Amino acid sequence: LIRLTFFIKGPFPDGGVLSSPNFRLDVLDEFFAEHCPKHCSYNNPPPSEVIGVAALAQADIVVEIVAVAALPD
pLDDT tens digits for range 15-61? 888 888 988 888 888 988 999 888 888 888 889 999 999 999 999 99
pLDDT of residue 18: 83
pLDDT of residue 42: 84
pLDDT of residue 64: 94
pLDDT of residue 41: 83
26: enclosing H helix or E strand: helix 25-35
Residue (of 56, 46, 53) closest to 20 by Cα position: 53
